[in-house]
Amino acid sequence: MRDISRRQFMSTSGRAALGGLGLASLPAVLTACGSDDDGGGSSASTSRDGGGGGGVSTPRFGLSSSPQASYVTVLAGPILGGREFGLAATRDDFTIFDSSTTVTQSALSGKLGVVGQSTMAQLLLLERGLPFKLFAPFMLGDDFVIAARGDITRIDQLMDCVVATDSLGGAGTTILDAILIGARAGFLVADLPRKIVVESSGERTSALANGDCDATIIHLPQAKSIPESEGRINYVGELWKTSPNFLKETFSARTDWLDENIETAAAITAATIAQSRRMQADYAVWDAAVKEFVEEPPEEREMREIWPLITDYSFWPTDPADAMSDERIEFMIDLGRQEGLIRKDLKVDDVIDRRPLERAAELLNS
């Protein structure tokens, strides 16, 4: 598994490879749409067979951010769960890019088969008319909270204090808006009169601890890491409680790739769901996957803190019928529309290719 920056990508693949769908046609906001926190050859798939027949090959995956403990499914699914369904994926089949823009460019140029990134970033591709469709989720919810200092204990108080979040289209702003909508706050991030932009959740945690902001959107373990000596920290809103239809991270592919690789897409989908079921049923299985695939695994204390949320609120896709339901897709489209990111009249069928999920359900039941 390799990291590749925007500069490296442009020097190795060149703008000409993208033709009319080059950098200029991608929305600038895509750069912010990854996680909060070498293109791999000339083909979107490797030549080796997965061993299961049925037309399954091993694609090249591109991710817009490095895997974290809460969504280790992005690697654990295809790699650990894949062989059961004829998929022979390894870490070498995954490349980490530094933004949604660069991973999208690589997929458009044919160097990648599958793109894994935030659902909002995926929807922005469709908003721009690019030929992609979602086919599998790997992360539904997450452990984000609105953390606030001192006397700030209610969402309505955010209108009267300094709130730190990331740029429009970023994971933090999207999740903060989802919480505000779910809580019927009556306002969005764009309406906050005293917001400041702090791009990473780690830096936002420091800003809250230091008093540079009064409230922010960060992960639960980050909020709990702030020492009591820095003052009382309140949880004003939690994503998992207010937004049950949130769909955080998904796999997508170009529509022509999907037409030619339905069995491979179905194997990825089935493997991700099967491995999600195993990890959700056994803390030790998840812990082992995190230690294998996450560069800097959290301390066990932090893992134990979010484990009940993962299991009680189903952060991972375990049910093919619910994983990318119409309700989830409609919620995300509406969220993007309210944020001003989506202006097209996108419908569920414009966004999803359901064939891999339907075939995955058959594989899981066989």
Report the alpha-carbon angle 230-226-37, nearest 5: 135
Tally of helices (H runs) and strands (E runs) in the chain: 16, 13
Mean pLDDT, residues 223-233 taken together? 86
Q: Could you name the CATH architecture of 144-242?
A: 3-Layer(aba) Sandwich (3.40)
pLDDT tops 70 at residue 272: yes
Mean pLDDT, residues 249-272 taken together? 97
pLDDT tops 70 at residue 6: no
* Encoded tokens for 100: 């949604």
Give dist(CA 296, CA 326) in Å, integer: 35
Lowest-confidence pick of 7-11, 195-199, 338-342: 7-11
- Residue whose token pair is 């190795």: 12
Give dist(CA 234, CA 179) in Å, integer: 15
Report the alpha-carbon angle 345-122-40, nearest 5: 150
User: What band does 59 get if pLDDT is binned at 50, 70 and 90?
Assistant: very high
The residue count for the chain: 366
Topology adopted by domain 2-140+246-365: D-Maltodextrin-Binding Protein; domain 2 (3.40.190)
* Mean pLDDT taken over the chain: 86
If one compares 294 and 53, the residue with the highest pLDDT of the two is 294
User: What band does 3 get if pLDDT is binned at 50, 70 and 90?
Assistant: low
Mean pLDDT, residues 151-168 taken together? 95
Q: Indicate the burial class of 275 (C-beta count within 10 angstroms; 0-12, 13-18, 19 or more).
A: buried
pTM for this predicted structure: 0.84
pLDDT digits (tens, 9 = 90+) for 131-146: 999 999 999 999 999 9
HEC letters along 179-201: HHHHCCCCCCHHHCCCEEECCCH
- Every domain range in the chain assigned CATH 3.40.190.10: 2-140+246-365, 144-242
